[in-house]
Amino acid sequence: MSGANPGDHTSYFMSRLLAILLLALFAVPAIAQEDKKDAPVEEKLFTELGTPVGDFTLEERSGEIVRARDLLGKIWVAQFFYPGCNLCSRNTPTMQKLQDHFRGKSDVRLVSIDLLNERLETLREFANDHQADPVQWLFLTGHEDLVNDIVRRSFFNMVFRKKNPAAGDVIAHSTRLVLIDPHGTLVGYVDGTDAKAADVLKAEIDRLRSRRRMDERIPITGADLPRFNALLNSICTVLLLLGWILIRLRLETLHKLVMLLALAVSIIFLSSYLFYHFVVLEMEPMRFRGEGAVRYVYFGILLSHTILAITVAPLAIYITVQGLRDARKMHVKLARWTLPIWLYVSVTGVVVYWMLYRITW
C-alpha cells in the first residue's frame, strides 16, 4: 500500500492488466463454450422467459374494462381458452387447483383470455360452471383478431383459426399457462395439461410472494440492489485508480487512506451481493436474455469475474495488512498483480450489471 519502488513503470502495471484481460476475454469464453457442449441437457417443466408483458385492453365477463397495467402489483397466471374447446378442458382443472390453493390471497390472480370473442353471458356461464371467484379469477374477451394479436405479441404464444375445424377444435392454440410477476414480467410458462403443472406453478407463485414480502421488509428493494452493487463497483474502480495515481506521486498517506476506502467499499459490495443472491433471489441465478455470440461473451466475462473475485479477496486483505505493517517489499511484489486483478473485477462487475439488467437484447 506504500513504499512503491521508484523503478516501477506504468508499462509494467499495464502489461499485467493486459495479460489478465486477454486471459479472461479469450481463454475463459472458450472454456465456457466447451463446458456448455459437455453439459447434460436437463428438461424442465417450467420454462423461464424474463420479458415484459405487452399492454392490452380487454373486457371482463362482468362488463368492466381490464388493462395490463391494472394487474401490476399482482402475481397472475394467464390461460388462453374458449368455451367448448376440447383442449382447454385439460388445462382448466389446473387453474381450478390454483384458485383453491390461493383462495383469498389478494395478491394472486388467474386470468383466462377468451380466443373466440364469446358473449359475456357465455363467459359468465363458463365461469360459474367452474366455480370461478369473480374477484380472483378473471375472464377476458375482445375482438378475435385483437385477442390473437395480444396472445402472440404480449405472451409469445401460438394461436390461429383452423380452416376446416372439427367441433370443439376451432382455434389452434397453446395449452401453456403463463406466470407474470407483480412488475408485469413474464416469469415463465408451463404446459397446463401436465399432471404436475399445478404443483410447479404453486411453487413458483409462493417463491414470488416470498420475494415480495422480503422487498417490503428491507429499505432497498430487491430490484434496487443490483443497481446499488454496480454503483459500489464503480466507486471502487475510481478509488483503485486514484490510489494507484497517488502512490505514483509518492503520496503514501493519501494512498493508504484511499486504498482502505476501496477495501471497505469492496466489503460492503460483497455483503450486499451475498444478501441479494442468497436472500432475495434464494440462490436462483438471473437469466441472461442475449443469444448467439454475445451469450459466450457474457458468460466468459461472468466466469472470469467470478474466479478472479474469489482470488482477489484474500489477496486484497493480505496486501493491506502488509502495507499497514510497512512490509514494503512483499506489499509491492503482490500489489503489482493484485491491483490489476482488483480493477478487472470492479470494472467487469459493472459490465455484467449492464449486460444482465440494462441492455435489451
Q: Report the C-alpha gap between 312 and 227 in whole angstroms.
A: 22
Coil vs helix vs strand at 8: coil
Q: Could you give the angle at which helices 28-38 and 293-324 cross, rounded to 10 degrees?
A: 120
* C-beta of residue 192 within 8 angstroms of C-beta of residue 97: no
Could you tell me the three cell numbers for 28?
475463459
- Report the predicted TM-score, pTM, of the whole model to 2 decimal places: 0.52
Report all structural domains of the chain as residue ranges with CATH numbers, in order of start: 10-41+220-358 (1.20.120), 49-195 (3.40.30.10)
Strand partners, 108: 75
Strands 65-67 vs 75-81: parallel, antiparallel or unpaired:
unpaired
Across 27-47, average pLDDT: 48
Cβ-based neighbours of 16, under 8 Å, separated by 6 or more: 336, 337, 340
Tell me the pLDDT band of 112, cut-offs 50, 70 and 90.
Answer: very high
Q: Report the C-alpha gap between 153 and 11 in whole angstroms.
A: 53
Across 289-298, average pLDDT: 85
Work out the end-to-end distance of the chain between its first and last CA atoms, rounded to an integer number of angstroms.
41
Q: Report the C-alpha gap between 86 and 140 in whole angstroms.
A: 19
What value, to the nearest 5°, has the Cα angle with vertex 146 and ends 84 and 109?
65
Position 157 pLDDT exceeds 90: no
Ranking 29-38, 166-175, 192-201, 259-268 by mean pLDDT, the lowest is 29-38
Could you tell me the three cell numbers for 141?
374477451
Q: Which residue has the cell 413474464?
A: 186
Q: Could you give the angle at which helices 225-248 and 328-353 cross, rounded to 10 degrees?
A: 150
List, for residues 163-192, the tens digit of each pLDDT value: 776 665 778 888 899 999 998 989 989 998
Across 320-330, average pLDDT: 92
Closest CA to 172 of 267, 90, 86: 86
